[in-house]
Amino acid sequence: MIFSDYHTHTVYSHGTGSCEQNVLAAIERGLSRIAISEHGPAHLFYGVRNERLRALRREVDSLACRYANDIEVLLGLECNLTDFGECDAPDDAPAMCDVLLLAFHKGVLLKSPFMRRLGGEAFGFTKNDPIKTAQALLTAAEKYRITAFSHPGLYVKSDIATLAKGAAELGVLLEINGARVTMSKEELELANELGANFLIGSDAHKPKNVGNFTLALDAAREAGVIDGVLNYVPDLPEPIFLPGYASEVRGVGAES
């Protein structure tokens, strides 16, 4: 089974549950570690920044103490690519956050020509060089010490060979996203061959979706890359989800 969920959202951004509800859901699913990973500060609509991020840190610390016997509770941040090789991880992110995810998201100001081209692709107007997109993510990942790329290929295409090779060199993980699998079977196989490792995250926006890895596990198994999923433990049984659970997760809001 998957023992940790590094990608969950709460009311701090556009999720529907509290941090505590996510933690309780994770305990119920039998997870041993959960991160509350909200959207980075540059996201115009959902970004968690400044005092609000510090309040979130305090709340996560308080929950970590309260549930220390049941689960490890971490603070993550789902950072936004803001320019080639740049993201919105705050200066104090290494001290403030336990886990940093990185992805391109809509809803970020497109300040440079490079970002405007990505925005054009995300909104369906233009096509980009996927190799350059992958390089932009990798350069930022190295600079900001990113843990994993969340939902690679969502909104804008990244060249998987470039991304996977670079991720393997840097030790950055490729997320297999539980709300929607963004890499094809062939891309997962290629990334695996190139030495990349994976992280499965739920990208839950509701507490009941915390720890739901059904789609991601199916994709990892089908592509034969499950051994490269670093938060997978082979000898534990999977938690049982109610029928229809996975299909409901597919309906998670467009922006994740």
**For Zn ion, which stretch binds (CB under 5 A), given 110-118, 129-137, 195-203, 220-228?**
195-203
How would you classify residue 211: left for phi > 0, otherwise alpha for psi between -120 and 50, otherwise beta? left
> What character string, x for contact with Zn ion (CB under 5 A) and - otherwise, covers 135-164?
---------------x--------------
- # of chain residues touching Zn ion (CB under 5 A): 5
One of 38, 203, 204, 209 touching Zn ion (CB under 5 A): 203
Q: How far is CA 245 from CA 20, 135, 200, 249, in A?
A: 21, 36, 17, 6
Binding mask 93-122 for Zn ion (x = CB under 5 A): ----------x-------------------
**Contact between residue 163 and residue 152 where contact means Cβ atoms under 8 Å apart:** yes
Locate 65 and state its tokens: 């103490």
Instruction: State how far the Cα of 182 lies from the Cα of 197, in Å rounded to an integer.
Output: 15
> Do the bridges between strand 72-83 and strand 33-39 make them parallel or antiparallel, or are there none, so unpaired?
parallel
Segment near Zn ion (CB under 5 A); pick from 49-57, 134-142, 203-211, 212-220:
203-211
Of the ranges 131-139, 168-176, 199-207, 213-221, which one interacts with Zn ion (CB under 5 A)? Answer: 199-207
Q: What is the distance, to the nearest Å, from the Cα of residue 159 to the centroid of all Cα atoms in its chain?
A: 18
Among positions 2-61, residues that touch Zn ion (CB under 5 A) are: none
What's the closest the beta carbon of residue 168 comes to Zn ion, in angstroms? 22
Element (H, E) at 96: helix 93-96
- Residues engaged in binding Zn ion (CB under 5 A): 78, 103, 150, 203, 256
